[in-house]
Amino acid sequence: MSAAAAAARAARLLLPCLSQTTATRLLHASASQGAAREASGSFIHPAAVVHPDAVVGQGVSIGPFCTVGPSARIGDACQLHAGSHVVGDTELGEGCVVQTGAILGADIPGQTVIGENNIIGHYATVGIKCQDLKYKTGDECFLHIGRNNEIREYCSIHRSSKSCDCTVIGDNNLIMGSCHIAHDCKIGNNNIFANNTLFAGHVVVEDCTHTAGAVVVHQFCHIGSYSFLGGGSVVAQDVPRYMMVAGDRAELRGLNLEGLRRNGFSDQEFEESLSESIYANYYY
């Protein structure tokens, strides 16, 4: 039995359980998508709604009750778990996993680009409209995410607030559950953000930083590489590289020795970091 015939048969088996409108839509979808399934080797569940204009790569799996919009582009070997959605002008790179309930993109001007091998957790919202009151309806807004990031459940990541800017996340970041990355943030590579870390708009985070849980970072702050932000901190100033900070409002607590060890710093690099730490403590 061909993929198209199998899909149509599966849709008809569901008919007694569905409304007339839903059943008709499923039959239409199964007919229009069957050829694409056969050609690409992808699996599209008959209860998924994939627009005919969407671009679906090779070996893609799209589960039941997913929606894929007309401007979406799904890369090879992606997995869309049940009830996940890709809307608006959204590009999903190869090998990504989108778990149940996640929403990627938004039906507003602009674009969401997600690179290869990212995991988007349950009910995360990635590439949606920002909450900046200065955003003007109709303006383009953008989000670019790199490769090999793990974005866990209930995270929210917003597009930029204006067409001349872009929210950016680099590569190899672990963004734990319920974190928030607001409009126009710039996040580097190899960072770890523990649960409920909140970055307000325009925050810059360099590379290899680590936040403990429930950290709040004020708008426009700059977080230096290899720094550590203690749990529950409210950060209202820039954080120098290599430093530990903690408290409300966060204050310097010394050199992030453990973080430097874990990242393979040599003795000479330790000395250089210590010199920078002394300077930072004097001027912070």
What does the alpha-carbon distance between residue 275 and residue 248 come to, in Å, rounded to a whole number?
Answer: 26
What does the alpha-carbon distance between residue 85 and residue 80 come to, in Å, rounded to a whole number?
Answer: 8
Active-site residue, selected from the candidate residues 45, 183, 202, 210: 183
Backbone angles phi, psi at 251, to 5 degrees: -125, 160
Neighbours of 177 (CB within 10 A): 18
Residue 46 Cα to chain centre, angstroms: 27
- Cα dihedral angle (266, 267, 270, 274), rounded to 10 degrees? -170
- Residue 248: DSSP 8-state: B
Backbone angles phi, psi at 269, to 5 degrees: -65, -35
Residues in the chain: 284
What does the alpha-carbon distance between residue 260 and residue 9 come to, in Å, rounded to a whole number?
Answer: 59
What does the alpha-carbon distance between residue 265 and residue 156 come to, in Å, rounded to a whole number?
Answer: 33
Known catalytic membership, residue 184:
yes
Name the strand (E) or helix (H) holding 260. helix 257-262
Active-site residue, selected from the candidate residues 89, 171, 184, 207: 184
Active-site residue, selected from the candidate residues 177, 201, 224, 230: 201
Known catalytic residues are: 183-184, 201
